Amino acid sequence: MQVIRPIQQSDFAALKQIAIDSGHGFTSLPVNDEILLNKITRSEQSFKQAVTQPGDQGYLFVLEDCQTKKIIGTTAIEASVGLSVPLYHYHRGKTVHHSPTLNVYNTVETLTMCNDYTGASEICTLFLHEDHRKGHAGRLLSRIRFLFMAEHPERFSDTVIAEMRGVSDKHGHSPFWQWLQEHFFSIDFPTADHLIGVGNKVFISELMPKFPIYANLLSQEAQAVIGQVHTKTKPALRLLEKEGFEHRGYVDLFDAGPTVEAKLNNIKTVRDSLVAPIEIAEVETEHAFAVCNHEIAQFRATVSNNVQYDASAQTLFVSQAIADALNLSSGDLVRFCKFN
């Protein structure tokens, strides 16, 4: 069985290995001991805080194999982004150059730097070790965030975003950044990526062009990747699209990967999830269910076929193993949704 729970200090070594394995472009987990330790501490404090509205909280979860006790993945939620450190995006727009006299009409795509997503909640830091990418684990890491948000909506914004990793090669070189580097920054993509990861974003406001960029002035390689995702990120994007997330024209400043958004109450897992008391029984069904307890600091969640919902009795039957893994007793309330 695999269980998702809040990260703790003893998970540091596993988190550092995930940061190493995640590679270039995964800016939310830089390979930096101090920053990783601070992320764990901040997450622990966030889970313990009494919260009535979203603020500077960050919730970092790990996926643990109950048999081996190995941490095989991470996932996270930022309650409200851009409050202490500005959150920058490019917004894709259009401008028209029209001359009736010459009978010329040209539409040109523009990229305008903005802070439009300030205050939104962000789902982020989803990573799963490659040898566990078959089965339910990846979808569990993605969807369990929405069960947690549905259970504790006061902690999150009405708008939820996800920044998707853009196109770069195995050496971390981004075609989009290559153009920016040549004309404005004079530092390579891995360096910029590292600076963002360690929280140093001052250079953005100092060096980034303040006026809209005409996309047709970029190289053909750079234009081709605007709004495109990294190959390894495509499965994550498909999961979010199934949840109702949409791309509204916002892209990352450095690799031009798309940012997708949804209203919290319109997210499929949030909308379709149910709350019911449990009864312990040895059951098995054709459909898997994702189940979480009602806790915050002691939050636990899993996915299993050893779950059965009796709609007439409005009761969820779960096995003893699931009850133990989620710290539940008969009569306790859980939130759940069909998983398949």
Q: What is the pLDDT of residues 212-228, one digit of tens each?
A: 989 998 999 999 999 99
Nearest residue to 82 (alpha-carbon basis) of 159, 22, 23, 144: 159
Domain identity same for 237 and 252: yes
Task: Write down which residue in 221, 245, 269 finishes a domain.
Answer: 269
Q: Note the pLDDT of residue 132.
A: 75
Number of domains within the chain: 2
Domain identity same for 277 and 248: no
Indicate the length of the chain as a whole number.
Answer: 340
Domain identity same for 129 and 229: yes
What is the C-alpha to C-alpha distance for residues 27 and 31, in angstroms, rounded to an integer? Answer: 9
The answer to whether the beta carbons of residues 97 and 104 sit under 8 Å apart is yes
Q: For residue 308, what are the domain limits?
A: 273-338
User: For the domain that residue 19 is a member of, what is the CATH number?
Assistant: 3.40.630.30
> Which residue among 89, 136, 194, 230 is the active-site one?
230
Domain identity same for 307 and 224: no
With respect to residue 108, please indicate whether it lies within any of the assigned structural domains. no
Task: Write down which residue in 269, 294, 327 finishes a domain.
Answer: 269
> Residue 100 has which token pair?
């009736």
Q: Note the pLDDT of residue 202.
A: 64
Domain identity same for 34 and 129: yes
Domain identity same for 127 and 81: yes
User: For the domain that residue 280 is a member of, what is the CATH number?
Assistant: 2.40.40.20
With respect to residue 200, please indicate whether it lies within any of the assigned structural domains. yes
Catalytic residue check, 91:
no
Domain identity same for 54 and 135: yes
Domain identity same for 53 and 158: yes
With respect to residue 109, please indicate whether it lies within any of the assigned structural domains. no
Task: Write down which residue in 218, 243, 269 finishes a domain.
Answer: 269
Can you spell out the DSSP letters for 264-307? GGGSHHHHH-EEEEEEE-----SS-EEEE-S-STT--EEEESSE
With respect to residue 105, please indicate whether it lies within any of the assigned structural domains. no
Nearest residue to 145 (alpha-carbon basis) of 81, 80, 75, 79: 75
Domain identity same for 319 and 284: yes
Domain identity same for 60 and 163: yes
* Low-confidence stretches of the chain (pLDDT beneath 70): 23-26, 186, 188-207
